[in-house]
Chain A
Amino acid sequence: RKEVEQDPGPFNVPEGATVAFNCTYSNSASQSFFWYRQDCRKEPKLLMSVYSSGNEDGRFTAQLNRASQYISLLIRDSKLSDSATYLCVVNRDDKIIFGKGTRLHILP
């Protein structure tokens, strides 16, 4: 079993819609959590950290459920420019582990 699991998608979503991605992690000793965004043929870039209390950055909301070992990302009012692969990331003792990513296509 992979340490970080994501639905690979693709998610095809009309512009303006709300979309949510989920991610699960297997090691309860994981300490911190992130979402990264990766555009086609580019390097990953940090989107946001994920905190237990939930956190928001503009149209993006991230949530962590430590009991269920589950992380989510919600994108509201999706834009064409949100089309990318979203990578769920877990830090366990400074070993930073990426999920396979979820592909999102925003449709005009």
Chain B
Amino acid sequence: GAGVSQTPSNKVTEKGKYVELRCDPISGHTALYWYRQSLGQGPEFLIYFQGTGAADDSGLPNDRFFAVRPEGSVSTLKIQRTERGDSAVYLCARAGQDGEKLFFGSGTQLSVL
């Protein structure tokens, strides 16, 4: 939705496995955000990109989480050695032209068994 495509929509994995979540915004938007949302909670900031670089990655919970955006468009969130506590909806958003109103994708529901 809103010019942001996230794939897969659902991902089930086993504890300890590696996963990649993809975010594909419509072109022409330099700012891109990743959030994680657990049930009953608000979206928790993870990282945001300006162009290809991570402008603020202070929300990444630990070094198992990493995100890239090599060409300034598509972004991938990578989680190593997944844990059950990583289960959540991972949301990606592009910023509008003013740089601060966010337009979200439909999210990826990650379930770690």
Residues of chain A having any CB pair with chain B under 8 Å: 4, 6, 8, 32, 34, 36, 42-46, 49, 87, 91, 93-101
Contacts and interface: CB of A to CB of B under 8 A. Distances in A.
A42 B37 CA distance: 11
A56 to B, nearest CB: 18
Nearest to B92: A43
Given A43-B91, A45-B104, A98 B48 contact: no
Interface of A is mostly: strand
Residue from A32, A45, A46, A96 with most neighbouring chain B CB atoms (10 Å): A96
A43 B107 contact: yes
Contacts of B58: 95
A4 B48 CA distance: 18
A20 to B, nearest CB: 19
Interface in B33-70: 33, 35, 40-45, 48, 50, 55-56, 58
A74 to B, nearest CB: 20
Contacts of B48: 94-96
Contact of A98 (B45, B99, B106): B45
